[in-house]
Amino acid sequence: MDLRSIEAATEPIALFHSWLNEATASEPNDPNAAALATANWDGTPSVRMVLVKEVDRRGFCFFTNAESRKGRELAANPRAALCFHWKTLERQVRVEGPVLELPPEDANAYFHTRSRGSQLGASVSRQSRRLENRDILERLVAEYEMQFPNEVPRPAWWKGYAIQPRRIEFWIAGENRLHHRFLFTLQEDGWHKELLFP
């Protein structure tokens, strides 16, 4: 692992894109998958995997059911953290910051790139709520498919979010657990980088 590139980096988003490109070539499944941590109004945390679909000037963007547990927690406490882990490369990236809701046109555009089956499933799922049995879910999908034989409309509660990074940490595995950790913190005059103990 050539550490010189990360030691020379001054802008973490460009560095993240470089790492994601390498992960796309090396990881067998979903290199854009990350653990998303949220918390409710009293600070009780929860975590789950999401697919980060864009990383741009708005931040780290993902889409979900706003009525799910994560959606409700983001409404109550609009701050979150992500952790990408690329086992093959022995690297991690951690991201923390406030969360903003993306415009409806962004949610529409991404929703309609998904497979028809995924659109139908997302439309009928009452995500995170109790399901009596699997037959109910399958019946709801079949009924919705008949109701919308052509284009599936995006449900109003299926939204996009962007984590606006304030802290981004890059981690590289080291021998004897002497890992390499570089923390970028966004301050008024731009990104500041520091080296952390493992």
Q: Show which residues are catalytic.
A: 177
CA distances from 9 to 96, 186, 191 (A): 19, 14, 10
Backbone angles phi, psi at 53, to 5 degrees: -90, -25
Residue 33 corresponds to which amino acid?
Answer: A
Round the CA-based radius of gyration of the chain to a whole number and report it.
19
Q: What share of the chain is helix, strand, coil (3-state, %, to 5)?
A: 30, 35, 35
**Cα(first)–Cα(last) distance of the chain, in Å?**
17
CA distances from 193 to 54, 167, 169 (A): 23, 10, 9
**Residue count (the chain):** 198
